[in-house]
Structure 1
Amino acid sequence: MTARETVLGRVRDALEIAPQPTVTVERAYLRDRVLPDGERLALFTDRLVDHGARVHACTAAGTAATLAEVLDGLGAHRIGVPAGLEPSWLADWDGTAEEDGADVPVARLESLDAVVTASAAGCAETGTVFLDGSAGQGRRALSLVPDVHVCVVELSSVAAGVPEALARLVPERPTTLISGPSATSDIELERVEGVHGPRTLVVVVRTDV
């Protein structure tokens, strides 16, 4: 018998003789919360701005114009996009959009002015955007390597709280959670941006589809 089997055997023996709990713990988790569109948009925007992100709201018809204004304001002339990003979103922009793929080296991603992706879901309560690697979102490197990330979020995909947002995700997909630009602090609480991802996050919220 190995040491591991000995230890686990003792744990099983102890559990058998241990008294069984007689108290039922009630877990009153907040679930199935619903907020009207206006309140959800306001809360989502407030939390994102508090995290240091820039937020623009637009209608579906105004997506192309809004993205063109955002990209021009950022001085972006060459951007990366995932395969599957809606082409009409960039119809009003005059720059160069390069489609990303598994064979694109990281050095090329580093040279991009920005990246534009879609999103899988959002959480208003925490100001978090969820990416799951779907066609319009691309691989993780695409949204983590370039210094500027412009992310399009459908308001209909933004849930009120964390449990509601997680329920919208596919557990088997690789999920990236984004709450504002990349930032971290050392032991002296010195804030450093851009260590683990883009230093600039712009979220474009489409209020209808």
Structure 2
Amino acid sequence: MSARDDVLARIRTALGGPTTLGGPTAGGRPGAVGDAAASGTELARAYRATGEHAPGSDAAVEILVDRLVDYRAHVHRAASPEEVAETVGALLAEVRGVVVPPALDDAWLAALPATAVRVADSREDPRTADELDAVDAVVTAARVAIADTGTIVLDGEPDQGRRAITLVPDLHVCVVRTDQVVHTVPEGVRLLAEHPERPQTWISGPSATSDIELSRVEGVHGPRTLHVILAPPR
């Protein structure tokens, strides 16, 4: 069995299916996980399913902030939609253009300077990669934020837009409501599993790599700068 076949067999076992494309294992019977799935038995999950901090709690938010800062993201707090707009306006005061997803809360853009051209993008009318590359920034909402790993996840909803719009412009301003913050990865995955068909983008700080001589370089395969605005619950 090749290494690829071994990896795929392990995945099939974990999912409760036969460990090979043809059926059971080489020994002639499914693995233990396959047996459990076939019998309807609930599979044992040894990992932590929830954290000790409730979603949206001050403790969960503080952990998220700590991780984001450690990743060199810039964190801002806003107590109202008006403060969100003021922060967005200040961060984008010098940009020439900003990409806007079709269903982004327009109140968040109320303080954009007149010089910042709003570039609309949607699945029905997408901008090309070259057009996105000519835009300075993008503003989006988020689906969920995971405190333990400092990860923000977008799932392509209309207030977040296509994946491309957050991968090409050099500056990303992401508004995260505090009630979207969960403590652990399993909690975040459960929320995302409600719509498995949606494309996901997992963001842990600005794009960066240290592949060459362990020297950190930012903006290699995504935004060089990430601003996260923590907004009050909807």
- Same fold per TM (> 0.5)? yes
Q: Hey, what does 2:217 align to over in structure 1?
A: 192
* Partner Cα distance (1:28, 1:14) in 2: 27
Q: Hey, what does 2:37 align to over in structure 1?
A: none
Q: Hey, what does 2:62 align to over in structure 1?
A: 42
Check if 1:59 corresponds to 2:79: yes
Moved more, 198-207 or 61-70: 61-70
Moved more, 133-142 or 55-64: 55-64
* Partner Cα distance (1:64, 1:161) in 2: 29
User: Are 2:75 and 2:230, in contact at CA under 8 Å, matched by a contact in 1?
Assistant: yes
User: Are 1:59 and 1:208, in contact at CA under 8 Å, matched by a contact in 2?
Assistant: no
Quote the RMSD (CA, aligned, Å).
Answer: 2.6
* Partner Cα distance (1:10, 1:166) in 2: 30
Unaligned runs of 5+ in 2: 1-19, 34-42
Check if 1:16 corresponds to 2:5: no
Letter in 2 for 1:66: T
Please list, as runs of the form range in 1=range in 2, the aligned pairs for 1:119-198 lying within 5 A after superposition: 119-169=142-192, 170-186=195-211, 188-198=213-223
Identity over aligned pairs, percent: 43
* Partner Cα distance (2:184, 2:22) in 1: 42
| Counterparts in 2 of 1:70 and 1:186: CA distance versus 1, 3 Å | same
Alpha-carbon offset, residue 182 of structure 1: 0.4
Aligned residues between the structures: 197
User: Are 1:120 and 1:157, in contact at CA under 8 Å, matched by a contact in 2?
Assistant: yes
* Partner Cα distance (1:88, 1:47) in 2: 28
Select the structure with the greater relative contact order (CA < 8 A; seq sep ≥ 6): 1
Q: Normalising by the residue count of structure 1, what TM-score does the alignment of the two structures yield?
A: 0.84
User: Are 1:34 and 1:159, in contact at CA under 8 Å, matched by a contact in 2?
Assistant: no
User: Are 2:154 and 2:202, in contact at CA under 8 Å, matched by a contact in 1?
Assistant: yes
Moved more, 89-98 or 109-118: 89-98
User: Are 1:152 and 1:205, in contact at CA under 8 Å, matched by a contact in 2?
Assistant: yes
User: Are 1:185 and 1:192, in contact at CA under 8 Å, matched by a contact in 2?
Assistant: yes
User: Are 2:24 and 2:30, in contact at CA under 8 Å, matched by a contact in 1?
Assistant: no
Q: Hey, what does 1:5 align to over in structure 2?
A: none
1:88 paired residue among 107, 121, 130:
107
Q: Normalising by the residue count of structure 2, what TM-score does the alignment of the two structures yield?
A: 0.76
* Partner Cα distance (1:111, 1:88) in 2: 25
